[in-house]
Chain A
């Protein structure tokens, strides 16, 4: 079974600053996918960024980037130039390789509550 650990229940950052959210996971799979999802107060789950384990290059989406360390099973999220709208719960998630006839559920970490202050 895969486990996802987010060791920071709450974090705070000032507007325009940079913040890094930590995530570690445990798996025996050699290939898999990792995701960061954002859940703002509206509670809508929003995909922030995704990473394929077989790709060494770290994924980047505008102000969001990851530091993927496969050997260490670490997948941290860096948010640059933080904005007030980034205030949300952030969940790290793991997914086993997708097959054509079925999908595997996401395994979520417990989440990190991020507050961006003016």
Chain B
């Protein structure tokens, strides 16, 4: 149980286009989801906190107009990278809160902008 599905696992897009990444909790309701970015051989950097039915809270330095987050239901949060540029290439991971049990993570999305 407690599975978080993240799609796509890999995506290549052209510079200037937008990419949407989906994060779904399959067997539990997730009031809160989190989006992280991870550079090679580095730790996870929190980008934003997504609460169902309300606006996302972004961490300092994260452009909210570039990284659009929508959490329209208790099982789905999406991250849209708008007008992507090569510097946005990274590994993006979502996670869903399960209270004390910690967080269940999606399998991640490797974004390459060419």
Contact = CB atoms under 8 A, between A and B. Distances in A.
Interface of A: 33, 35, 42-45, 47, 50, 52, 89, 91, 95, 98, 101-103, 105-106, 108-111, 113
Contact of B105 (A44, A50, A102, A109): A44
Contacts of A110: 42-43
Given A98-B99, A106-B103, A91 B43 contact: yes
Contact of A45 (B31, B32, B41, B93): B93
Contact of A109 (B43, B46, B100, B103): B43
A9 to B, nearest CB: 9
Q: Which of A43, A89, A91, A111 has the most CB atoms of chain B within a 10 A radius of its CB?
A: A43
A48 to B, nearest CB: 10
Given A103-B32, A105-B34, A110-B42, A98 B100 contact: yes
A103 B38 CA distance: 21
Pairs of residues from A and B, 4 with the lowest C-beta to C-beta distance, nearest first: A103-B97, A45-B105, A103-B32, A98-B99
Given A45-B95, A45-B105, A102 B43 contact: no
B contacts with A: majority SS: strand
20 contacts: A33-B102, A42-B107, A43-B38, A43-B93, A44-B107, A50-B102, A52-B100, A91-B43, A95-B102, A98-B97, A102-B31, A102-B51, A103-B97, A105-B34, A105-B49, A106-B34, A106-B46, A106-B95, A109-B43, A113-B41
Contact of A103 (B44, B93, B99, B107): B99
Interface string B33-69: 0100010011110100101000000000000000000
Given A44-B108, A45-B95, A33 B31 contact: no
